Structure 1
Amino acid sequence: MSKHGRILVAMSGGVDSSVASVMLHEQGYEVIGLTMKTWDYASSGSTSKETGCCSLDSINDARALAVSYGFPHYILDIRNEFGDFVIDNFVDEYLAGRTPNPCVLCNTYIKWEALLKRADKLDCEFIATGHYANIRKQDSGRFVISKGKDENKDQSYVLWGVSQENLARTKFPLGSFTKAEIRQMALDMGQEELAKKSESYEICFVPDNDYRSFLRHQVEGLDEKIGKGNYILSDGTVVGQHQGYPFYTVGQRKGLGIALGQPMFVTKIMPESNTVMLGTQNELNSSTALVRNVNMVKYETIPEPIEAVTKIRYKDAGTLSSIVQEGDIMKVNFHHEVAGIAPGQSAVFYEGNDLLGGGFLL
């Protein structure tokens, strides 16, 4: 009988989830490893060698580690569920003139649900992942996510959508460690190749991070259906033509294919007229934001305005703001202007290191 019970660990084959599984094994949990096959590059028309969490090499690495430590390992094919939800949403968001956040959707609706469903079948009380974040239970009974020790690797931003029910069964073993410490642990385990594994910061299903080619492969005849459109300024002046509105995002500066004598940014996308608005840095700034599909984590609701640090993208340092919940919408008033609020991206609210909640920018 194990010391702490049975736990299902999501293993991608990378250093983080591998060390997490060994850490829990050595703490006395009865570990079961699970690698989820979410995507393959052939489905996106790519001839590139598969890399990352869905590649055959990564799956084999995860299995080899599990075998070496004597715990079971399974592979779960969730390509259909992943494609039907995450990929369809990714394409639909760009066609709606928004910038999608696939990692949040995958965590919220696919990975946690798939893990817990399999955990129930395997009589596992808990699941664990290699995310750099912490979790605790408050006196109120609510589970709170907080930032990981490593500020550069903190992944709490992509976890705002995980429900209280799912958080109650979740463990993040790496939250109190830095990436350097995890790599050293891998070396101490005798896993030199694992410790040296590089990381991918690309979207797992977009080969070479080229989302435009991916969209063209997913939507047959996309260029012909959309066609070229106008670049305009805020006063409506037409200043040139673009390749089609789905190929641009708010805040974009490079790759516009137009020179206007000063740095210009995408400030607004209007899919109904296939129009992309350009403006200066100042025109990209905003002091307010509205957020939809809000999931509260630390508190159930916040009927009165409270101060929070709001992040509008993953690598954003965050901006002090006043937030107030108005029905299904969170209204954010930034204490100073922020640049590049992109509809479709996540806005995530923090109170100190604690995750208050998050949602999608309108």
Structure 2
Amino acid sequence: MKILVAMSGGVDSSVAAARAVDAGHEVVGVHLALSRMPGTLRTGSRGCCTIEDSRDAHRVAGMLDIPFYVWDFSERFKEDIVDDFIAEYAAGRTPNPCMRCNERIKFAALLDRALALGFDAIATGHYAEVLRDDNGLPELHRGEDLAKDQSYVLGVLSGDQLEHCYFPIGATASKAEVRAEAAERGFSVANKPDSYDICFIPDGDTKAWLADKIPMRPGLIKDAEGETLGEHDGAMTYTIGQRKGLGIQKPAADGQPRFVTGLDPASNTVTVGSRSDLAVSHLTGIRTTWAGPAPTDIGSEPATAIDCEVQIRAHSDPVPARAWLGHYISEAPEHEVNPIVDEVEVPAARPAGQLMHIDVDEELSGVAPGQTMVIYRGTRVLGQATIDVTAKDRLGV
């Protein structure tokens, strides 16, 4: 096959490229330039897609004797990822930019260009596997190394996209094995730190970054009874489940810590409560997609729900759940103007698409609208939806 390998400059994509070459494929490497002004150096394991990363990828491509290119996706990245991130926070939601990048850049814009240029598939260094069902259709499964499994952030991929995905290191037993292989091949990135945090906020200070992009306006911090406990300098810089940095002087009556339990951009209010107030047993998701064939046994009411597991964060444990479909929103409402931050155009809260309902067997804590819920059966990713509403009680009981 003719394979285009997305080479980030890290150890995983470097070994993925090497294995694609070893497998006899015709391989071309590409590094995605996602910023017009990338930093020349990363800060330890923070940040990615820098000039340094591009040079690391280029060196590995040279050692593998494969063509290497840098493609500029900076404008698309700003529009689809960075601007979306800002707008979601302005709307009081907590987005996952890595999911959006996979959905709109790596496995959409990049894949579309690759197919147009005659490539059969794109390869990345993700820890996940594409397997085939009895009908030969692709299924997305967890990587062999569960500690590094990245199937969650790939849950947005469709069956058509999975047809053209190749994950050469997905069946590797451990990250240590990947690093050892890179060292044996003489790759200088063998011990390069993994990148984490949000790539376009390399110092990790999301609050300060947002404050520079969204006009901050002070508001009130209240408890569930409406009592004012303090003030904040911008509601959109808080997230559900946050405990630190609340600045509340008055202690709770029971002496227990307080957590952010609600955000209301319309009134610019942050609501706080106890840890127990964060517990939820039901999730409603929007923008439902399926990673391969949709389950044929899922119904549209609790009585016809399917047994599954749901995962709400990249590295959280899946919990047993039951899922069923809600109604289909046929038309997306127009963009709204945030009443507090009128300079920011906010995406409609419920765009067109299928709703999904999830009842969990074990209470979840700190779940925020905007997060992604990915549903599994065993190791297989069934699909995903963006969390829109949570409830303390199950709907299907």
TM-score relative to the length of structure 2: 0.84
Q: CA deviation at 1:353?
A: 0.7
- Contact (CA 8 Å) 1:311, 1:318: kept in 2 or not? yes
Deviation track 1:306-329 (CA, whole Å, cap 9, x = no partner) reads: 111111111211211111112311
Matched residues in 2 for 1:200 and 1:116: separation? Answer: 23
Q: CA deviation at 1:185?
A: 0.5
Q: Which runs of 5+ in 2 are unaligned?
A: 328-353, 389-397
- Contact (CA 8 Å) 1:48, 1:207: kept in 2 or not? no
1:286 maps to a residue whose letter is V
Q: CA deviation at 1:162?
A: 1.2
Q: Which runs of 5+ in 1 are unaligned?
A: none
The CA RMSD over aligned residues, in Å, is 1.6
- 2:98 paired with 1:116: no
Task: Find the residue that maps to 1:98 and give its secondary structure.
Answer: coil
Matched residues in 1 for 2:311 and 2:294: separation? Answer: 20
- 2:380 paired with 1:354: yes
| Cα 1:257–1:281 shift into 2, 3 Å | same
Matched residues in 2 for 1:132 and 1:213: separation? Answer: 32
Q: CA deviation at 1:141?
A: 4.6
Q: Pick the aligned partner of 1:28 from 14, 24, 28.
A: 24
Task: Find the residue that maps to 1:293 and give its secondary structure.
Answer: strand
| Cα 1:48–1:253 shift into 2, 3 Å | farther
Match of 1:6 in 2: 2
Q: Pick the aligned partner of 2:228 from 238, 246, 250.
A: 238
Match of 1:322 in 2: 322
Answer with 253-262 or 14-23: which moved more.
253-262
Match of 1:275 in 2: 269
Match of 1:287 in 2: 281
Q: CA deviation at 1:253?
A: 0.8
Match of 1:139 in 2: 134
Matched residues in 1 for 2:320 and 2:293: separation? Answer: 19
Runs in 1 of length 4+ with deviation above 3 angstroms?
A: 47-53
- Contact (CA 8 Å) 2:34, 2:72: kept in 1 or not? yes
- Contact (CA 8 Å) 1:35, 1:75: kept in 2 or not? yes
2:307 maps to a residue whose letter is E
Match of 1:338 in 2: 364
Is the helix fraction higher in 1 or 2? Answer: 1
Q: CA deviation at 1:139?
A: 2.4
1:284 maps to a residue whose letter is L
Q: CA deviation at 1:121?
A: 4.3
Task: Find the residue that maps to 2:189 and give its secondary structure.
Answer: helix
2:137 maps to a residue whose letter is R
Match of 1:183 in 2: 179
Q: CA deviation at 1:203?
A: 0.6
- Contact (CA 8 Å) 2:40, 2:50: kept in 1 or not? no
- Contact (CA 8 Å) 2:131, 2:140: kept in 1 or not? yes
Q: Pick the aligned partner of 2:148 from 147, 153, 157.
A: 153
Q: CA deviation at 1:40?
A: 5.4
Q: Within 5 Å, which residues of 2 pair with 1:48-197? A: 49-50=41-42, 52-177=47-172, 178-191=174-187, 193-197=188-192
Match of 2:351 in 1: none
Q: CA deviation at 1:257?
A: 1.5
Match of 2:212 in 1: 217
- Contact (CA 8 Å) 1:128, 1:173: kept in 2 or not? yes
Matched residues in 2 for 1:231 and 1:48: separation? Answer: 40
Task: Find the residue that maps to 2:69 and give its secondary structure.
Answer: strand
TM-score relative to the length of structure 1: 0.92
- Contact (CA 8 Å) 2:159, 2:293: kept in 1 or not? no
Match of 2:238 in 1: 248
- Contact (CA 8 Å) 1:298, 1:354: kept in 2 or not? no
Deviation track 1:85-128 (CA, whole Å, cap 9, x = no partner) reads: 11111000000000011111110111112322332344211111
Match of 2:308 in 1: 308
Matched residues in 2 for 1:117 and 1:160: separation? Answer: 18
1:25 maps to a residue whose letter is V
